[in-house]
Amino acid sequence: MPETSADATGLLVDETPDRTFRQSLVYVGRLFWRDKTGLVGLIMFLMVVFSAIFAPWIAPYDPLQQDLRAAKTPPAWTEKGSFDHPLGTDNLGRDILSRIIYGSRVSLTVGFFGVLIACSLGLTIGLISGYVGGRTDNIIMGGVNLILSLPYLVFVVFIAAILGRSLLIVILIFAFTDIPIFVRITRGEVLRIRESGFVEAALSIGAKRRRIIFRHILPNLIGPLITIATFEMSAMIFYEAGLGFLGLSVPPSVPSWGNMLAVGRKYLTIYPWIATIPGLAIVFTGLAMNLLGDWLRDVIDPRLRRVKK
């Protein structure tokens, strides 16, 4: 229920109207309808999620199945293409459409679990930092500033080069380097609520700390966290492709978009579709998530929403 999650004044009152689930759905739907770009983003994103979940059913071929006789078939809309392989085949005759569909699994797995780990750890640390304050806060924020001032790409590449190629390692690298952003957001929100005097007031009337966290602080965080999570997921998908390009991401046999790019670039001058299509898939997904993220931000930040009207 994004529209109640942050109040422009920062004064937090339990004003959440108890709408039914259905009413909320209708409300969110209306918000989407009002801003078509958000809707487009949502649809695009759902397409990616759908292909990731149902990959075995919608992919026409096994993504690893080689057919050397059909190698380097161009996409269907070109002269020599055929609808056997709508997006053509790669250097080993593997169906590109199927690989793109399966590749969305790798990308979304990296993005989703990376963000999930980063977000949950970041949230916990941020709550501690903002709530406990004092020396703990100083130490945590020191660490956060430290990680944020590291040149991200340089370090990710460095760690990946040391630790080797596996899906788990890639996810963990992204998760750990991404914690600081979530810590910052959480802590900022906690401080804002604390400064509003609300917490003192609640404490003075005998509210329990735990209740304050769960009832007042967390609901306010959901909106901004989801927004940031969307952007961060998009960034992780982007960087995963980059690591794949350097040969530092998941093992080469795994059909990931980054690996497809890495292989396809060798043929870019002669068989351009092998590298172009996974590149477009990355742009497509990134665009979807950014449109969605932008929309969430506009919806969650009422000040900007007002401007838009």
Partner 1 sequence: MQRYILSRLIQSLLILLGVLLIVFFMLQLTGDPVSLMVSRNASPEQVQRVREEMGFNRPMMVQFADFMTGAVVGDFGMSLRHRQPAMKLILERLPATVELATVALLMAMVIGIPLGLLGGSNPGGFWDTLCRLAGLIGQTIPNFWLALILIVFFSVGLGWFPTFGRETCTVFGIHLPTRSVILPAFALCLFTTGQLVRFTRAAVLEIKNEDYVRTAYSKGIGDRQIYTRHILRNAAIPLISIIGVQFGYLLSGSIYIETIFSWPGIGNLLAEAIGNRDFALVQAIAFFASLTVVILNLLTDIAYGLADPRIRYGD
Partner 2 sequence: MTRRCCFILLTLSLVAITPLAAMAAPQGTLRVATTTMPNAIDLPMGAERNAHNVSWQIYNALTWINDEGKVVPALAESWTISENGAEYTFKLRKGVKFHNGEAFNANSVVATWERGKQDKMQWKEKFAIAKYVQKVDEYTVKIGAEGPSPLLLRVIAEFWAMIPPRYYQQMGENGFLNHPVGTGPFMFKEWKKGDRIIFEANPDYWEDGYPKVKRLIFRPIPESTTRMAAIQTGEVDIVTRLSSEEAEALKAVPNVKMINYPVDRVYYIAFNNLTSGKGQPTESSLVRKAMNYAVDVQAIIDALFDGYGRQATGLITPGDWGYDEEIEPFGYDLKKAGELLNAAGYPDGFSMGFACPSGAYTNFEQVCEAIQGYLGAVGIETDLNLMESGKYWDLEGKKQLPPLFGDSWSEATGEALPRLKGALGGMDASFSAWSDPQIHKLLDEIGRTVDDEARAKLYVELQRYMQENPPFIYLYEPVTFEAVNPKVKDYRPRAAENYYLKYTSIE
| 97 touches partner 1 by CB under 8 A | no
Q: Which does 37 bind (CB under 5 to 8 A by kind): partner 1, partner 2, none?
A: partner 1
Contact code string over 145-184 relative to partner 2, x by CB under 8 A: ----------------xxxxx-------------------
By CB under 8 A, name the one of 47, 265, 280, 301 that touches partner 2.
265
Angle formed by the axes of helices 36-53 and 96-132, nearest 10°:
110
How many CA atoms lie within 13 Å of 187's alpha carbon, on the beta-carbon side? 22
SS3 141: helix
What, of partner 2, partner 1, none, does residue 164 touch, CB below 5 to 8 Å by kind? partner 2
Binds 56: which of partner 2, partner 1, none (CB < 5-8 Å by kind): none
Q: Which residues pair with 95 in a beta bridge?
A: 89
Cα–Cα distance measured from residue 222 to residue 42, given in angstroms and rounded to the nearest whole number: 18
- Find the distance separating the first CA and the last CA of the chain, reported in whole Å: 20
In this structure, is the dihedral angle defined by the CA atoms of residues 235, 236, 237 and 239, taken in order, positive or negative? positive
d(CA 257, CA 171): 15
Out of 36, 208, 215, 266, the only residue in the binding site for partner 2 (CB under 8 A) is: 266
d(CA 59, CA 95): 9
Instruction: Tell me if 294 contacts partner 1 by CB under 8 A.
Output: yes
- Closer Cβ to partner 2, 8 or 64, answer by number: 64
State the DSSP H helix or E strand holding residue 225, giving kind and residue range, or none if neither.
helix 218-245
Instruction: By CB under 8 A, name the one of 13, 17, 269, 308 that touches partner 2.
Output: 269
Is residue 27 within the footprint of partner 1 (CB under 8 A)? Answer: no
DSSP 70: G
Query: Choosing among partner 1, partner 2, none, which partner's interface includes residue 267 (Cβ < 5 to 8 Å by kind)?
Result: partner 2
User: 193-202 — which CB contacts under 8 Å span 24+ positions?
Assistant: 193/10, 193/12, 193/217, 193/220, 194/130, 194/131, 195/10, 196/10, 196/11, 196/12, 198/11, 198/12
- Asked if 132 interacts with partner 1 (CB under 8 A), we say no
* Rounded distance between C-alpha atoms, residue 283 and residue 36, angstroms: 19
Nearer to partner 2, 106 or 263 (CB): 263
The entry of partner 2, partner 1, none that residue 69 binds, CB within 5 to 8 Å by partner kind: none
Residue 149 contact among partner 1, partner 2, none, beta carbon within 5 to 8 Å by kind? partner 1
Residues engaged in binding partner 1 (CB under 8 A): 37, 142-143, 145-146, 149-155, 157-159, 161-163, 234, 238, 241-242, 245-246, 261, 265, 268-269, 272, 275-276, 279, 282-283, 285-287, 290-291, 294, 303-304, 306-308
What are the residues binding partner 2 (CB under 8 A)?
A: 91, 161-165, 247-248, 251-253, 263, 265-271
